[in-house]
Structure 1
Amino acid sequence: MTVSSPSPLGFPAQTTGKIGYVVKRYPRFSETFVVNEILAHEAEGREIEIFALRPVEETHFQNIISKVRAPVTRLRQPLRKQDSLWEAQKTLYALRPTAMTAMMQFPESSESDLYQAILLALDCLSRNITHLHAHFGTLAATVARIAAALAGITWSVTLHAKDIYCDYDEDHHLPLKLADADAVVTVSDYNVRYLNESLGCDPQKLVRIFNGIDLNAFSWSAPQDQPHEILAVGRLVEKKGFHILVEALHILRDKGLRLPCRIVGGGNMQQELQDQIDASGLSETVHLIGPMPQDDIIRAMQKATLLACPCIVGADGNRDGMPTVLLEAMALGCPVVATPVTGIPELVTQAETGLLAQEGNPRDLADQLARLWRDAELRAALSRNARARIEADFNLHKNAAELGRIFDRLRCDDRAVATQGGL
């Protein structure tokens, strides 16, 4: 095993072996933060392999996916015949007899999850993968947790928001995962407090690392003096609060202020939102334009007067953690109006780096939109401050490097060392 000098965190940085990224689906249009993180690791020389547990469902993808060098393995699912699980177990036990005992640690797991975990463990053993990292604490963490135990390696997870707060019909056993993970990463201080105080996560293994963006790809420019349009970007789902945005624009129209707005994205609320737009008499000024490639979104942000991000907590507890679209807009210089949901106030400070409207309050949102639309000096000041905030704390390469140091420290764990010599 090759060991380099200690990292800035005080851990010995170890560079032998690959990192396996475990995700439910890859790629996903709305999860550019995963792609950006992998690219940052690759830029630092880490070898990454990606494991996807479910088929791709979307038809539109971001351009940056083509830059990822990591191979993608789509683990088979579901079981295709009765003896598939047993056949996979026999193969694993022949290579690693101790996995038989490890398998008994997961009585709550389904056959499908066990099967994919065995396949993942076999890939780890044969491909010199010494650490697994899951994004989201649901299915990806379920499979990564089991696979790591079977392969005798370490694992970690990044928790965002839905996977922490959503009231799922199915129990995803998050407390078990928090107890077993070698490191738990989350994207806001708000989440850290909740995971520690409400779910009992060990503070020694819990760390906040903000999502970051590649500042080289998002050059700042001052906002235009003359207002142009409001832009909103995200999936058309309840937690994005776009129905609140449409209601706010309706309120402003009734006050004589007709603000043009484009809403970029697709989702299950598309027809509902279109019906709301039509019923409100806004069809000439408010447009749902579907998904767009990231390059086109960047150009739209550079021209927009402001970005509206009116997030809410959904009826099932689903919410955003730290919307990437806010980071991107603020880096580019597009002023933002958001809501104080989950970790957003750690990014958007009222009247300093953006404006905040009360969650779910269309009248307050209307007031904040109108204020920013009418005040060119305020837009300019918020734009400058927002870029400085992004540069200070949301630099992709800086934040990914911190995560990478955690990986390196964990790969020096005795379990990882034990697998270095082969199967």
Structure 2
Amino acid sequence: MPSETPRIGYVVKTYPRFSETFVVSELLAREARGERCTIFSLRASADERYHPELARVEAPVRHLPRPEKASSAWSALAEAAHGDPVVAAGIARELPELLQAPVTEAVHAVRVARLARDLGIEHLHAHFASTATTVARLAARVAGLPYSFTAHAKDIFHDEVDEADLGRKLADAHHVVTVSEYNLADLRRRFPSSAGRLHRVYNGLEIERFPYRDRPAHGGPLRVAAVGRLVEKKGFADLIEAVRMLGERGVPVEVRLAGGGELHDELAARIRSAGLDDRFALLGPRTQAEVRELLDWCDVFAAPSVVGIDGNADGLPTVLLEAMASGAPCLATDVTGIPEVILDGVTGRLLPQADPLALADALTAIADDPSAARAMTRSARALIERSFDSARQAEQLAELVAGGALAERAVA
């Protein structure tokens, strides 16, 4: 590692965001290897709960104010340009681009450009190919800096994604990271002219925070954990139906689902209608520490993801990696990057999406012989240690910023 590393400006839509634990893990890993980061948050966080790992992030956070009216937007442009001829020239040069962007994003971009110059930032990186990357791209053009971004799932798969806009972001970027081989192949197919800029870097875990534990038989109901936002792509309606089927089979089960979201009331109604109130608990949002307790409690972890009707889909859920690291037998569906980690019968059970019967059968098999999954859980832990250590992730990201070649080994 070089003795002097470039200062990185992280552009994110909201920081901190309760559901985006991967951003915090990434920052911690980069700081651990000596990188200096500054966070630019485009919106104030509305989350009322925070993960304790946030306290370990040393990077200062700059929350950018939203312009209240058109006159304040022009004042922000003038303020950013004042006293910095590079930014002033950049605003003049990029004015056509700035005028095409939403006003708030244009103002955020020139503010980030000026702050980046003032703070000595040498590279901008955004998470998600949507708003944050719009700002990072424009700020980089104004300030004359390279930028990169990480593409995840909704930002590239949703049917509202503007292909021309995404293509411009890819074409202008120094490099682009995405979180699975599936995403990588999809983006390279859709944007062949930018294929050389695209790289797969898996989201990493601080593996020591997820100690492995074998699951001994305990003679009680099958304890099932699930974690995720209560939205269509998580497939939790299929889990409710699978648990209803288990009841018909006489299989005792207890489910705890951690997460909040727009489908809470609908899922709660499904649970009541299926007569599962005493067996299926909606816990609401939980901190990372509480999720670790849930993973330690469970006999099996279920991730029944589906592709939504709007094209939205999971990328590679971080909590699935955490469950694999912790020794929980994992059942997951064949959506996007999930088959890269859930190798059927080897590291877990890979099931067809939107198939509650297959999920019920897999849960029944675990209930009938919980020890049979032990070999799979040990293989899963070994895979996480090999390919999903956040220290390795940070090293790969640093190699990309430096312009070096990145060895993209598939999961073995």
User: TM bucket by the smaller chain?
Assistant: over 0.9
Q: Which AA in structure 2 matches 1:361?
A: D
Q: 2:72 aligns with which of 48, 73, 84?
A: 84
Residue 327 in 1 paired to residue 321 in 2?
yes
The answer to whether the 8 Å contact 2:333/2:351 transfers is yes
User: How far off is 1:168 after superposition?
Assistant: 2.3
C-alpha distance in structure 2 between counterparts of 1:103 and 1:181, whole Å: 19
Q: C-alpha deviations, 1:120-152, integer Å up to 9, x for none?
A: 101001011111100000000000000011011
The 5 A counterparts of 1:33-182 are 33-77=22-66, 79-94=67-82, 95=84, 96=86, 97-99=88-90, 100-168=92-160, 173-182=165-174
- C-alpha distance after superposition, 1:23-68 (max 9, x if no partner): 1111111110000000001111111111111221221221211111
Give the Å deviation of 1:92.
Answer: 3.6
User: Which of 330, 347, 362 in structure 1 is aligned with 2:356?
Assistant: 362
2:333 paired residue among 297, 315, 339: 339
Match of 1:24 among 13, 18, 30: 13
**Are residues 1:287 and 2:278 paired?**
no
Comparing 401-410 with 276-285, which one deviates more in the overlay? Answer: 401-410
Superposed counterparts of 1:402-421, under 5 Å? 402-409=396-403
CA change 1:201–1:208 in 2 (3 A) is: farther
1:235-254, aligned counterparts within 5 Å?
Answer: 235-254=229-248
Compared CA separation, residues 182 and 170, structure 1 to 2 (3 A)? closer
321 and 14 in structure 1: CA distance in 2 versus 1, 3 angstrom threshold? farther
| C-alpha deviation, 1:219, in angstroms | 1.1
Overall identity of the aligned pairs, in % = 39
Q: Distance in 1 between matches of 2:124 and 2:95?
A: 17
Matched to 1:196, the amino acid is: R
C-alpha distance in structure 2 between counterparts of 1:320 and 1:48, whole Å: 28
1:257 counterpart = 2:247: no
Superposed CA deviations along residues 185-229 of structure 1, whole A, max 9, x for unmatched, are 000111111101123352221100011101111111111223641
Counterpart in 1 of 2:409? none
Pairwise CA distance, 1:376? 2.3
Match of 1:188 in 2: 180
Pair 1:196–1:169, CA change in 2 (3 A): closer
Match in the other structure for 2:309 = 315
For 1:32 and 1:224, the matched residues in 2 are separated by 29
Match of 1:353 in 2: 347
Aligned residues: 398
- 8 Å contact 2:155–2:161 — kept in the other structure? no
Measured in 2, the distance between the counterparts of 1:371 and 1:21 equals 45
TM-score with structure 1 length normalisation? 0.90
Larger mean Cα displacement after TM superposition, 59-68 or 325-334: 59-68
Of 162-171 and 94-103, more deviation after overlay is shown by 162-171
Considering fraction of residues, name the structure with more helix: 2
Distance in 2 (CA, whole Å) between partners of 1:157 and 1:375 is 44
Secondary structure at the aligned position of 2:275 is classed as coil
Conserved 8 A contact 1:223-1:379: no
Kindly indicate whether the alpha-carbon contact (under 8 Å) linking 1:195 and 1:201 is maintained by their aligned counterparts in 2.
Answer: no
TM-score by length of 2: 0.93
Cα distance in 2 for residues equivalent to 1:172 and 1:229: 46
Q: 1:272 to 1:104 in 2, by over 3 A?
A: same
Instruction: Name stretches of at least 5 consecutive residues in structure 2 with no aligned partner.
Output: 405-412
Distance 1:182-1:220 versus aligned 2 partners, 3 A rule: same
Deviation at 1:357, TM superposition (A): 1.5
1:17 Cα shift?
4.0
CA distance in 2, matches of 1:297, 1:169: 32
Contact 1:262 1:289 in 2 (8 A): yes
One-letter identity of the residue aligned with 2:49:
H
* TM-aligned CA deviation for residue 169 of structure 1: 7.8
Deviates more, 1:195-204 or 1:35-44: 195-204
Residue 413 of structure 1 corresponds to which residue in structure 2? none
Matched residues in 2 for 1:399 and 1:377: separation?
33
Provide the C-alpha distance between the structure 2 equivalents of 1:16 and 1:223, rounded to a whole number of angstroms: 43
8 Å CA contact 1:14–1:408 kept in 2: the answer is no
- The separation in 2 between residues aligned to 1:38 and 1:72, in whole angstroms, is 12
Write the distance in 1 (CA, Å) between the matches of 2:80 and 2:15: 26
> Shift of residue 369 of structure 1?
1.4
SS of the residue 2:14 aligns to: coil
* Counterpart AA for 1:212: G
Against the structure 1 CA distance between its residues 172 and 277, is the aligned structure 2 distance closer, same or farther, given a 3 Å change threshold? Answer: farther
Unaligned runs of 5+ in 1: 1-6, 8-12, 411-423
Change (3 A) 1:23 1:359: same
What is the identity, as a one-letter code, of the residue corresponding to 2:280? V
Structure with the larger RCO, 1 or 2 (CA within 8 Å, 6+ apart): 1
1:330 aligns to what SS in structure 2?
A: helix
Residues 179 and 201, structure 2, Cα contact 8 Å, conserved in 1: yes
Contact 1:178-1:201 at 8 Å conserved across structures: no
Q: Is the 8 A contact 1:356 1:368 kept in 2?
A: no
